[in-house]
Amino acid sequence: MSSSAAGREYQPKTSVGKITNFVDTRVGGSAMVKEFGRKIFPDHWTFMFGEVALYSFVILLLSGTFLTFFFDPSMAETHYDGSYVPLRGIEMSVAYSSSLDISFDIRGGLFMRQVHHWSALLFVAAVSVHMLRVFFTGAFRKPRELNWVIGGVLLILAMAAGFTGYSLPDDLLSGNGLRIIDGVIKSIPVVGTYISFFLFGGEFPGTEIIPRLYVLHILLIPALILLLIAIHLFLVVVHKHTQFPGPGRTNDNVVGFPVGPVYAAKAGGFFFIVFGVVAAISAAFTINPIWNYGPYDPSPVSAGTQPDWYIGWVDGALRLMPGIIAGFPFEWEIPFPWGVNTLSLNVLLPALVPAGIVFTMLFAWPWIEAWVTKDRRERHLLDRPRNAPTRTGVGVAGVVFYCVMWAAASSDLIATHFMVSLNDVTYWLRALFFIGPVIGFIVARRIALALQRKDREIVLHGRETGRIVRLPHGEFIEVHEPVDEYKRYKLTTFDSPQVLPAQADVNGHITKGEKRRAWASRFFFEDRVAPVTPAELEEAHSHGHHGEVANEHDKASISSH
Amino acid sequence: MADHSHGSPEQTGTVAKPGQGGVQKFQDPGLPPHRPRLADTDPRAEKRAERQVGVLFLVSIFGTVLFFFGYFAIPLDQTIGTLRLQNLLLGLGTAFAMLGIGVGIVHWAKTLMPDHEISEDRHEIRPEADRADAEKIVGDILEESGIKRRPLIRNTLLGASILAIFPAIAIFRDLGPLPGDVLRQTMWDEGVRLTRDPSGTPIKASDVTIGSAFHVIPEGLNESEHKLEEKAKAVVLLMRLKPESLNPSPGREDWGFEGIVAYSKICTHVGCPVALYEQQTHHLLCPCHQSTFDLTQECKVIFGPAVRPLPQLPISVDDEGYLVATSDFQEPVGPSYWERG
């Protein structure tokens, strides 16, 4: 903007200056360049998962646009006359037929389908791993709680996008997936049958469902994802990135590389790398060969039908649920004054409860942790997972819970591949569904505590060098080398909250809620390995007992060897 | 050295005691000293890195050429083999084109662009004062609108707004018809012949030998207007067992014919086809969620998430020896629903 008040316009001298001046005097933006051009982004390999998610979404938009030009979501009946001989003349829907055309008769169509499907899988995977990274490092803490929630919603939307897309080709596999959804919807009390009829436009399968899923898949869900990604990234800019603690890295600064040119090059280049990897996978590994399955027909189904991996855990929960336990059926026929109604808990419980637990815990976790610690400060420094043993344990328990259900979705393949009884696989997985998370929690927390103690050892006694030295008086020792001050700072600078006992309120009462919080605090922080303090290090050195840093006298003899 | 591997942890100082930690901290030594890379000190290494980046970009150009080679030079001849080859070339071409650019730029950034980290201060997201001002402004807006002083306006607006949402939901009413009782009825009826799926040819009782299983649809299904919807309810599995291994309950003795029995193929769990028949054990297994039904016990559930047995289709033979249904199913087939009763 011209500074007419100063009476003198800014005169650019370089060509870059002339161009930016032209743009800036018309649309503004030099303030933005000033703000963002050299904005600092910290570097850590775990920060790339979010980038992978973003880039695979861009790839999804690109390949999806291509597919949209050729795909026809109609469920009208047609007879296939394309170039794939085994299906010629077979009656099928236009949707399936155009999916076959994309695969066989449009050059590059098969490749685009593969890119689209693989990047969809990568998208959900990257979102999931990104969320695990955020969880295990505590990056969800104030001020980032809302962005964590947005991330959770994005995960749900990613699964919804995946499922609606999976159903579109109208092949046998996707039709069976829809049939399962139909059965699950019908199990909802009171309104289930109506929702099913409204969704399918009548009885299953009808001729409406694919066009409707198409609208959701190409319009509504991507628009929502795009909107939430925009808010997500906007908040990342507002908050600035988190960083791991270390020398020079504090809660009040950001240490890293400036956007221009280093970070832009690294992140921008990484987009091409993600695209390249997806393309390489798509070139070599066929996914969803719909021509093998044939058109949807309610009668046939292939053995070993598998959902896409991100839906697997819900399907697995459906498999794990027993219909009848010891003669007690999980389907109730409830007599009402107007007649008998059926409540199908064998479907409703596994479809809702595990997902409900996972997502409730996920969304509530930032507030649960803030409640337990009473910590309302802004947190920009990450935790190494070992330094938050209870959180790490809870996270691992969640992962185990998820993975048991996920494995259950392939129980039949586990049985056939390992030549074991299908029923036994299910019995074991049912047991693991309850026990697995508990074991996962205990083991992960113990490992985290053990790793913390290892860190203490390293700081106090130095690094084991593997050099065995014989001292002049005949004793053998292994030389330990003290860590340098940077490494030492890294290993000793972390938050180690202590148990916060119940606090009385202003009236001197200890409320029930506060007692519960104190219990939770004990559960979280009772087992604790404190970081080494300078005094402790001093003491460890002055002990003079062998095995640590060799004392001056010995050092002389060691160096002479 | 060995002091941490024997003795109790309390004595070795590896477990914190009350009052330890948190009080004293190590001094922050600041950012570690910057170590120059090879390319920073050795002009030859710098040149080499430059060439490497250039070669990577050339790889990308090669990839694009490979893509067009696959696109134009491989004519599709209706075999999967050439399609796979074309797919491979398109994919590898794209992979090289993308990876060449991507790896090249990242390599450029890592070897030639500045590699010293910079520290930038965080600022408050919003100053305290702004927040107070905003609160006051919102308060003023609410005050001037008078919404606090006029509960009648507030409450009626609230009620009207909540109600006004419902038309948005109601407008979707025409998405589908009401269920009515269509889920209770299938195409089966007295005298409807059992025919093979998918050909639709009728089945004679004499065709059904012991141990065999047929996938069955009602006669006329292939000509019906809503074929898939009808089929999703009407498909049936037909098997013949030794009559003595069947244990029909009272009133169902005449639902089979000389050991031939017909059961709905739609799983009572969520509706997948129960497609796997184990001849030896007479078990029917649903491949989707592994519900297992025992044919010798009227398809009672013996494993898995289903609760209800598969509905049986009462059958008989007509005077030409073809298998026919004697009525529709006596209960709704497929997954349970609220109104099922």
pLDDT at A97 over 60: yes
Instruction: Check pLDDT > 70 for residue A2.
Output: no
C-alpha span between A487 and B287 (Å, rounded): 55
What is the 8-class DSSP label of residue B204?
A: B
Mean pLDDT of chain B: 89
User: B13 to chain A, minimum CA–CA distance in Å?
Assistant: 8
> Looking at residue A525, what is its pLDDT?
94
The rounded distance, in Å, linking the Cα atoms of B41 and A194 is: 73
The distance of B156 to chain A (nearest Cα, Å) reads 29
Query: In the structure, what pLDDT confidence band is assigned to residue B19 with cuts at 50, 70 and 90?
Result: very low
Q: What pLDDT is stored for residue A35 in this prediction?
A: 80
Contact A94, A72 (CB under 8 A): yes
Tokens of B266: 């739609």
Judged by CB atoms within 8 Å, which residues 338-377 of A form the interface with B?
Answer: 339-344, 346-347, 350
Beta strands A339-344 and A331-336, pairing class: antiparallel
Are B301 and B308 spatial neighbours (Cβ–Cβ below 8 Å)?
yes
- B121-146 mean pLDDT: 88
Helix (H) or strand (E) holding A464: strand A463-470
CB contact under 8 A, B287 and A275: no
Q: List chain B residues with CB under 8 Å of A332.
A: none
Please determine, for residue B130, whether its predicted confidence score (pLDDT) is greater than 90: no
What ipTM was estimated for this complex? 0.88
Q: How far is A246 from chain B (nearest CA, A)?
A: 8
- pLDDT over 60 at A550, yes or no: no
Band of pLDDT at residue A548, cut at 50, 70 and 90: very low
pLDDT of amino acid A1: 43
Are residues A374 and A500 in contact, defined by beta-carbon separation less than 8 angstroms? yes
Give the confidence band of A136 by pLDDT, cuts at 50, 70, 90. very high
- Average pLDDT estimate for A296-312: 87
Identify the CA nearest to A524 among candidates A561, A506, A488, A498: A498
Confidence of residue A4 (pLDDT cuts 50, 70, 90): very low
Q: Amino acid letter at A79?
A: H
Q: Give the confidence band of A552 by pLDDT, cuts at 50, 70, 90.
A: low
Contact A408/A515 with Cβ under 8 angstroms? no
- For the stretch B175-193, pLDDT in tens is 999 998 899 999 999 999 9
| Phi and psi, residue B116, nearest 5° | -90, 135
> Which residue in B has a C-alpha nearest to residue A187's C-alpha?
B337
How many Cα atoms within 13 Å fall on the side-chain side of residue A122?
27
Give B-chain residues touching A353 at CB under 8 angstroms: none
pLDDT at B272 over 80: yes
- Residue-wise over A96-120: b if at least 16 C-beta within 10 A, else e? bbbbbbbbbbbbbbbbbbbbbbbbb
Give residue A26's pLDDT.
86
Q: Which of A364-373, A425-434, A537-546, B296-305 has the lowest mean pLDDT?
A: A537-546
- Nearest chain A residue (CA) to B339: A341
Using H for helix, E for strand and C for coil, what is the string for A221-272? HHHHHHHHHHHHHHHHHHHCCCECCECCECCCEEEEEEHHHHHHHHHHHHHH
The neighbour count for residue B327, using CB atoms within 10 Å, is 15
Domain layout of chain A by residue ranges: 51-297
Report the distance separating Cα B146 and Cα A160, nearest Å. 43
Q: B132 — contact with chain A (CB < 8 Å)?
A: no
Mean pLDDT across the stretch A74-97? 93
> Which DSSP letter does residue A484 get?
P
Q: Is it the case that residue A30 has pLDDT exceeding 60?
A: yes
CA-to-CA separations, A554 to A463, A484, B80, B154, in angstroms, rounded: 17, 20, 75, 84
Between residues 466 and 495 of chain A, which touch chain B (CB distance below 8 Å)?
477-478, 480, 485-486, 488-489, 492-493
d(CA B301, CA B284): 9
Kindly provide the residue ranges of all beta strands, DSSP E only, lying in chain B, ordered along the sequence: 118-121, 194-196, 213-218, 236-240, 260-264, 276-278, 283-285, 292-294, 300-303, 312-313, 315-317, 323-325
Binary contact (B15, A301; C-beta < 8 A)? no
Residue-wise burial string across B74-94, b where 16 or more C-beta atoms lie within 10 A, e elsewhere: beeeeebeebeebbbbbbbbb
Chain A residue numbers touching B299 (CB-CB < 8 A):
none
DSSP strand pairing (B276-278 vs B260-264): unpaired
**Residue whose entry in the numeric block shows the structure tokens 């092949």:** A171
Specify the CATH number for A51-297; select among 2.40.110.20, 1.10.3760.10, 1.10.150.20, 1.20.810.10.
1.20.810.10
A236-294 residue pLDDT tens: 988 989 999 989 898 999 999 998 889 999 999 999 999 999 999 999 999 999 999 99
Chain A hits for B122, CB-CB cut-off 8 Å, are 240, 251-254, 380
H/E stretch holding A54: helix A48-70
Q: What residues in B contact A247, CB-CB < 8 Å?
A: 28-32
Across the interface, whether the CB atoms of B25 and A533 are under 8 A apart is answered yes
Contact yes or no for B271 and A200 at CB 8 A:
no
Q: Which CATH superfamily is domain B192-325 in?
A: Rieske [2Fe-2S] iron-sulphur domain (2.102.10.10)
